[in-house]
Amino acid sequence: MKKLIASTVGTVLALAGLGVATAAPASAATQEIQISCSTVYVSFQEYPAGTTVSIVIDGTTVEDATIEDGWFSSWYEVDWSTPHEWSVVVDAPDGADGDFSDGGTTTPCDTDPYRYADASATCGEISANVSSYPEGSRVLVSVDGETVADDPVDGNYWNVWPLDWTVAHTWSVTLDASDDALDLSWEGVTEPCDVDPNLRVEVNAYCDQLSVNVSGYPAGTAVVVTVAGETVGRGAPTSGATSGVRGRSTTAPRTTGR
């Protein structure tokens, strides 16, 4: 598709150079319906003003809207464990193309599609992220043979544990679920960092705005922001804290670094 578009653009440019005018084809109304065990997603593009959209799920009208700016997009969550009847009706104004209708029944999922669990470690920290786990589950974290966390999980859970970045560590994370079939575990050995991972410098430039955020540096560190040879900002973070400097930028693309 990209090659086809590029070819078309090249042709138009060549014709323009010869003084030949071409007319673009009129846009046609398009529809997109995506159904899963847990969601109903609809999207309508290039519709004339006054088009109405009606969406019904399990006999209840969840959407009764009028399109005024050419497009409509929305999605709806449903219980993933049971089937649901749905229908969509689009009625374009008299004389306009685009009338559309569709419907059906969702198929239940075998397992919770939102259930997720992961844990990882870097030279400076261990992190664990759990979602949609049953109440009564627990996260246990061990570093160098010592338990540093034994936390309850009620649905969703996220946490980070800092490590001494100058040395290696043996670590493990165990997700002890109330349903034994959902138990998971992760383990490994970290490598020391070459530099302190808490030191961060983030520079963002957009249009005429420039921001600089510095964190983890010792108190008294000088931050000077210069654009086109002119100093536009100065700052000094307190120990371990984040310091922000803002100014106007006339150049510079967006960049982020450490």
| pLDDT over threshold 60, residue 7 | no
- The residue that leads in pLDDT, 151 or 214, is 151
| pLDDT over threshold 80, residue 51 | yes
pLDDT class for 244, splitting at 50, 70, 90? low
pLDDT mean over 50-58? 96
pLDDT mean over 23-51? 85
For position 240, what pLDDT does the model report? 53
| pLDDT over threshold 70, residue 252 | no
pLDDT class for 254, splitting at 50, 70, 90? very low
- The residue that leads in pLDDT, 27 or 204, is 204
Mind listing the pLDDT tens digit for each residue in 185-231? 999 999 999 988 888 888 888 887 888 888 878 888 888 888 888 88
pLDDT class for 27, splitting at 50, 70, 90? low
Q: Write the DSSP string, the chain.
A: -HHHHHHHHHHHHHHHHTT----PPPP--EEEEEE-SSEEEEEEESPPTTEEEEEEETTEEEEEEEESSS-EEEEEE--TTS--EEEEEEEPPTT-S--EEEEEEPPPPSS-TT-EEEEEE-SSEEEEEEEEEEEEEEEEEEETTEEEEEEEEEEEEEEEEE--TTS--EEEEEEE-SSGGG-EEEEEE----SS-TT-EEEEEEETTEEEEEEESPPTT--EEEEETTEEEEEE-PPTT-EEEEEEE-SS-----B-
| pLDDT over threshold 70, residue 52 | yes
For position 242, what pLDDT does the model report? 52
For position 95, what pLDDT does the model report? 74
For position 19, what pLDDT does the model report? 35
pLDDT mean over 175-187? 96
pLDDT class for 26, splitting at 50, 70, 90? very low
State the chain's mean pLDDT as an integer: 83
- The residue that leads in pLDDT, 42 or 239, is 42
pLDDT class for 94, splitting at 50, 70, 90? confident
pLDDT class for 247, splitting at 50, 70, 90? very low
